Amino acid sequence: MREEAPRTVTAICRALQEQIDHGLLPEGGRLPAERALSELFETTRITLREALGQLEAEGLIYREERRGWFVSPRRLAYNPLVRSHFHAMVHEQGRVPSTEVLSARLMPAPVDICERLELPALSAVLQIRRVRRIDGRLVLYVEHYLNPAYFPGILDADLTASLTELYASRYDIRYGRVAFDILPTALPADAAFSLKAAPGSPALCITRVNRDQHGRIIDCDVEYWRHDAVRVSVEVPD
């Protein structure tokens, strides 16, 4: 029985991918329940889940906790060399962005954030936790860490808006040089819970350390993207 499982997994993957490629299973559409799919393909739930896991790894489908499996929408193109922000980037690609603030507070800086922001030991930082949606789908969990010396009173502002625009309008601070780390990873518990995904689901972690127009390190963003929601696309100018 188990000897046939790899062939069954391949057949399920091929059948579902063909349905997706031809638009019979549309972007954002929900797949039938696992029980119905296992009956359709005359296989066990274990074998079915192996096939669904392969399609998830390829970015074709995704799972939401207690809601089921869905067809992944097209990926957002993310160019780190372009000076933009989330809402503008999403709008420019014909999609609808939204942002929700989970928490905002002054807190002791974790060791790795102290190092990235070049702060002394036992420093305080401003932490802003947000989730972001594209076309209503949760795709990004982000933790912003700000040097409080540059942003007095920012916790009283509308933090669902673009921090880039808020920095410029309220503090006359604009981004200068930026350093990126981009790594494939698994969703940690906080990010997974906020994105309604299973802990350990595949993700793309983008850590960005930002300097202002004067060369001062002002903040650090730690982003966890659903791996099927974004593609990094860079064109280097001449």
Write out pLDDT tens, residues 176-234.
999 999 999 999 999 999 999 989 988 999 999 999 999 999 999 999 999 999 998 88
Where among 71, 87, 112 does a domain terminate? Answer: 71
Whole-model pTM?
A: 0.85
Mean pLDDT for 77-105 is 92
Across the chain, mean pLDDT equals 91
DSSP lists the bridge partners of residue 222 as 143, 207
Start-end of H helices in the chain: 5-21, 34-40, 45-57, 86-92, 111-117, 163-171, 189-194
Residues above pLDDT 70, as percent of the chain: 97
SS3 121: coil
Higher pLDDT, 85 or 172: 172
d(CA 122, CA 107): 10
Does an H or E element contain 208, and which?
A: strand 202-212
Does residue 237 fall inside a structural domain?
no
Structural domain count of the chain: 2
Torsion of CA 144, 148, 151, 157, to 10 degrees: 60
pLDDT tens, position by position, 54-64 = 888 888 888 88
Domain that holds residue 27: 2-71
